Structure 1
Amino acid sequence: MSNGGSNQPRPTRNEQREAAREKARVLREGQKKRERRNKVLLQGGVIVAVVAIAALIGGLIFNNIKPDGPGPANMASDGIVLTGVDGVVTPTETPALAAGATPTPTVPDDSGTVANIVTYVDYLCPYCGDFETTNADSIRTMVESGAATLEVHPIALLTNKSAGTQYSLRAANAAACVADTSPESFFDFNALLFENQPEETSVGLSNGELKSLAEQAGVSSLSSIEQCIDDTRFKAWVEDATTRALTEPVPNSDLASITGTPTVLVNGKQYGGSLTDPAEFQSFVLQATGETFSESNSTPSPSPSPSPAP
């Protein structure tokens, strides 16, 4: 009777050990092949990821860091100068500053018959809003009558105080756009920016709202100004002008730099009075103008002639 067993002889212990070793060798080689394949795939994936990240970063840098361009026309001093006669306000026209050029300080009227008012303002600054609300009408009257000139320097100190929208910078850029293309409307646009001033730490006005204010101010070439606002064309100039204001001497004054906004000067003398009392600022204007008049009209007494010796 058959037991159904195999006719093959049973492997010896040595043969079993050799078979086990061969099986282990095959498994090890398979594992090594898989590890090499995974390593190649991993390295390739890392390289692709690095290239993608580098491309993304490069794109962000290209899109957000624009090369410096020329500044706005009619702001060669970093500010726009407005003069008036018979109720008509006229901007002083000047060529645009080349990129990296040094501003040209305004030559003030030192006759003592005109108040040279200079303001450094941030359109998000609530104190600037207080000063403008209090004194805008009297300043306009003085400029329109020819009793004063007004030089406005828009700067951006509060760029990071508008919930990430950079309103301070965008508003100063919009003012530069108007000064560049439609300077005759700057006085009104400047006033509208303060009349519609958003609160600090809010998102500020949108570009669309800035364009609407420019239209209300009666700008010419509205489409050009709208594109300038959307492109933030004068961003580099705003940043440079702000840095200059904070680090360089203020022209026609004794100030080493400005330290905040609003900085208001009349004939080179800084106003430090009330931001909410119009009479106080008007008194300061009269005093500063009177002092300039006295200085410009004072003449030294002639030295006495020596008497002849007896």
Structure 2
Amino acid sequence: MSNPRPTKAERTAEAREKARALREEQQRKEKRNKLLVRWGVVVAVVAVIALIFAVVFSNMNRSIPAAGPVPANGNLDGGVTLTSTTSLAPTDGGEVDTENLPEGTGEGQPPRGVEPGAEGEPVPIVVYADVNCVHCATFEDAYGDQIAQWLDAGEITYEYRLVSFLDRNSPTNYSSRGANAAACVADTAPESYWDFTAAIFAQHAQGEVDNQGLADMAASVGAEGAESCIKDDGFRTYVKYTTELAQADGVQGTPTVYVNGTEANLDAFTETVQAAIDGNGGADSE
């Protein structure tokens, strides 16, 4: 005996069930497609970001030549010396070679070029600093105004030797790039050097910036002409030379400050400098 034919109600229910199953399958497909599109967009964005980062990172970590120029107003000890907040001590420039460094000055001796000032002349201060160093930023914040007063009174000279000790903590070599930017400002706009160093140490709390940010910082203090030098790493060899020379001379950290030829206790920095000025009779004494 054959099976009875499904009733109309049964056929309708079966059709509805098939339609429901088809709808659910279509919804599942649409959901999968939407997820695939979303993940595709995410992957594409990540890939673009990774590519941009790779290009920027590569540019920031490009190979640095062994030999290179000294910036105008830079010396062969790796420093730039302020004689006021708007003027630098002129130098003969020249070239440095990191593969032919001078020998270190020896244990217990100050670094090369660190000497007492002549009687009646401004007291020389030499500071080893790293633009990525929090203690350097703190030092600049604490004493910057007083240093500016001494400078503009003709009582001191202030020599920055900017090193890149902390590149090991930076994926973008910010210490080297910041020091290079400062050298570019010394070379192209010496009257802006003090303001630029103040700006770059003040930036520390906000974190690292790229080369465009450094160029913008330079422009903000009147050194618009430094942009190409900053972006082209014009004095990265000089920064490397300064850093390796400092290490050869026994400088182990930043800030390290020498006042009148002697390493200073930074907790008594103001008193130490003022005593040196007073003991020297003042730079403008007759």
Inter-partner Cα distance in structure 1 for 2:83 and 2:64: 36
Q: 1:113 to 1:231 in 2, by over 3 A?
A: closer
SS at 1:196's partner residue? helix
Q: 1:169 to 1:90 in 2, by over 3 A?
A: same
Q: Out of 176, 179, 196, which is 2:203 matched to? A: 196
Partner of 1:74: 73
Measured against aligned partners, the alpha-carbon deviations of 1:242-271 in whole angstroms (never above 9, x if no partner) come to 0001112xxxxxxxx211100111101211
SS at 1:75's partner residue? coil
- Are 1:96 and 2:103 counterparts? no
Give the structure with higher Rg (CA).
1
Tell me whether 104-113 or 181-190 shows the greater mean CA deviation: 104-113
Residue identity opposite 2:67 in structure 1? D
Q: 1:228 to 1:198 in 2, by over 3 A?
A: farther
Partner of 2:133: 125
Measured against aligned partners, the alpha-carbon deviations of 1:196-240 in whole angstroms (never above 9, x if no partner) come to 1146xx6x1111111111011112xx24x1111111121111111
Q: 1:65 to 1:269 in 2, by over 3 A?
A: closer
- Are 1:209 and 2:201 counterparts? no
Q: CA deviation at 1:107?
A: 7.2
Q: 1:66 to 1:113 in 2, by over 3 A?
A: closer
Unmatched runs of 5 consecutive residues or more in structure 2: 1-58, 103-111, 282-286
Inter-partner Cα distance in structure 2 for 1:235 and 1:83: 24
Q: CA deviation at 1:288?
A: 3.1
Q: 1:168 to 1:211 in 2, by over 3 A?
A: same
Inter-partner Cα distance in structure 1 for 2:276 and 2:263: 10
Inter-partner Cα distance in structure 1 for 2:114 and 2:72: 14
Show the 5 A alignment for 1:1-310.
64-66=63-65, 68-76=67-75, 77-84=77-84, 89-100=86-97, 105=113, 109-111=117-119, 114-162=122-170, 164-198=171-205, 204-219=208-223, 222-223=224-225, 225-248=226-249, 257-274=250-267, 280-291=268-279
Inter-partner Cα distance in structure 1 for 2:130 and 2:190: 19
SS at 2:69's partner residue? coil
CA contact 1:89–1:143 (8 Å) conserved in 2? no
Size of the aligned set, in residue pairs, is 210
Q: 1:108 to 1:284 in 2, by over 3 A?
A: closer
Q: Report the RMSD for the aligned CA atoms in angstroms.
A: 2.6
**Alignment identity in percent?**
34
Q: Which has the higher contact order (CA 8 A, sep 6+)?
A: 2
SS at 1:99's partner residue? strand
Q: CA deviation at 1:106?
A: 7.3
Structure 1: which 4+ aligned runs deviate by more than 4 Å?
101-104, 290-293
Q: CA deviation at 1:114?
A: 2.8
Inter-partner Cα distance in structure 2 for 1:269 and 1:166: 31
CA contact 2:64–2:237 (8 Å) conserved in 1? no
CA contact 1:189–1:217 (8 Å) conserved in 2? yes
Unmatched runs of 5 consecutive residues or more in structure 1: 1-59, 249-256, 275-279, 294-310
The structure carrying a bigger helix percent of its residues is 2
SS at 1:73's partner residue? coil
